[in-house]
Amino acid sequence: MIKKNITYIMVLLLSFWRLQAEIIGNEITPQAQEAISRGLKFLAKTQDEEGFWRCDIGYKLNVSYKVIKENRPHVGITALACMAFLANGSLPDRGPYSKNLAKGIDFILSCSHPSTGYISRYNTRMYSHAFATLLLAEVYGMTQDQKIRSALERATRLILECQNEQGGWRYEPIAMDADMSITVCQVQALRAARNVGIRIPKKNIERAIEYVRKSASGNGGFRYQLMDLSESRTSFSLTAAGITALFNAGIYDDDSIEKGLRYLMYPPRYDPHPLSNHYFFYYGHYYAVQAMYMAGGNYWREWYPKIREELLRIQAPEGSWEDNVGKTFATPIAVIILQIPYGYLPIFQK
């Protein structure tokens, strides 16, 4: 009886692996695999010996990017680059990019303030803190490294303490108002931390859900801030962020999600999909591909091939992608998007 059960389980596992291989083969084509490989090699080549990646440090200003420090070691960019390696199956102790990951994680840990938990260097802001927290949560879940857990607990506590009266977050740790683009990063970091055993009070998630729902507009899009009452203030990137925030907060069946998905599929004339030479394109598609993957069905089947082919079309011969922020911002995001079907990152699952 035991031998029969073992044989049955093995048959099921083999069938599952074959099905997964077939799905990945249909979605991540040989051309996509080559693009991923070249992108990862570019990231490995551009990493500093001390573990970080450089990029201009700044913030969004209307539709442009305000640079406050040029070409500095960047916490958020380093976290995203490490996520790209994780999405390929590497870990700090094994895999073709293990050394790159280990160095990158060490840099992130060196930027963690021992008392506040704020992960920052050269005045990087809450975007970077959230991406770094997300990285630490994903790595801790895979390694159970207690040094990482300690930094993760401090980073998560800071996010919880910085949630403001509106229920969201802003560029700086302490702020009176909130915006969708910052809030989604924090919600995702909290979800990843909760997934690996860090206690996240239910009240914080409920307040975040309320904020995101209030940001939804009647046209299906999501607004940048609650004060932006005009539907024309909705956008592709913000809508992708709003849907993903709700998914990561554990909301899967919601009218605003369905409307938002249709908004992404069929955008209004005043909000076309962003051009690929702008950081809105990469930031927006980073969340849009997650939204479509978690939505599944026809949404995913229609969406992924289109973004895959677009990314293949615009990749540079050296393996990079580029926008108005820089190659080290666009490249890890593009590689992460292409690798979503691998399913190596738990945060991208329901």
Question: pLDDT value at position 230?
Answer: 65
Burial of 195: CB neighbours in 10 Å, binned 0-12, 13-18, 19+ = middle
Question: pLDDT value at position 192?
Answer: 98
What average pLDDT does the segment 149-172 reach? 97
Q: Dihedral angle at the C-alpha atoms of 272, 275, 280, 285, nearest 10 degrees?
A: 80
Pairing outcome for strands 54-61 and 234-235: unpaired
Structure tokens at 65: 């990017």
Structure tokens at 121: 């260097």
pLDDT of 19 strictly over 60: no
pLDDT band at 130 (very low <50, low <70, confident <90, very high): very high
The CATH number corresponding to 2-348 among 3.40.50.300, 1.50.10.20, 3.40.50.1000, 3.60.150.10 equals 1.50.10.20
Closest alpha carbon to 319 in 29, 45, 25 = 45
pLDDT of 17 strictly over 60: no
pLDDT of 13 strictly over 80: no
pLDDT of 350 strictly over 80: no
347 DSSP 8-state letter: G
pLDDT digits over 265-311, tens only? 999 988 889 999 999 999 999 999 999 999 999 999 999 999 999 99
What's the chain's average pLDDT? 92
Could you tell me what percent of the chain has a pLDDT over 90?
A: 84
Strand partners, 335: none
pLDDT of 122 strictly over 90: yes
For the chain, the domains span 2-348
What average pLDDT does the segment 61-70 reach? 85
Q: Which helix (H) or strand (E) holds 223?
A: strand 222-223
Closest alpha carbon to 129 in 149, 154, 147 = 154
Question: pLDDT value at position 18?
Answer: 43
What average pLDDT does the segment 324-350 reach? 94
- 0.85 surpassed by pTM: yes
Question: pLDDT value at position 60?
Answer: 80
Question: pLDDT value at position 53?
Answer: 98
pLDDT band at 63 (very low <50, low <70, confident <90, very high): confident
What average pLDDT does the segment 238-243 reach? 98
Question: pLDDT value at position 21?
Answer: 53
pLDDT band at 5 (very low <50, low <70, confident <90, very high): very low
Q: Mapping DSSP to helix (H, G, I), strand (E, B) and coil, where does residue 59 land?
A: strand
DSSP 74-120: -HHHHHHHHHHHHTTT-BTTBSTTHHHHHHHHHHHHHTB-TTT--B-
Q: Which helix (H) or strand (E) holds 71?
A: strand 64-73
Handedness of CA 92, 96, 99, 100 (dihedral sign): negative
pLDDT band at 62 (very low <50, low <70, confident <90, very high): confident
Is residue 261 within 8 A of residue 242, CB to CB? The reply is no
Closest alpha carbon to 290 in 115, 83, 120, 99 = 83
Question: pLDDT value at position 231?
Answer: 62
What average pLDDT does the segment 211-233 reach? 87
Structure tokens at 247: 């998914």
Number of residues in the chain:
350
Strand partners, 234: 223
What average pLDDT does the segment 323-331 reach? 95
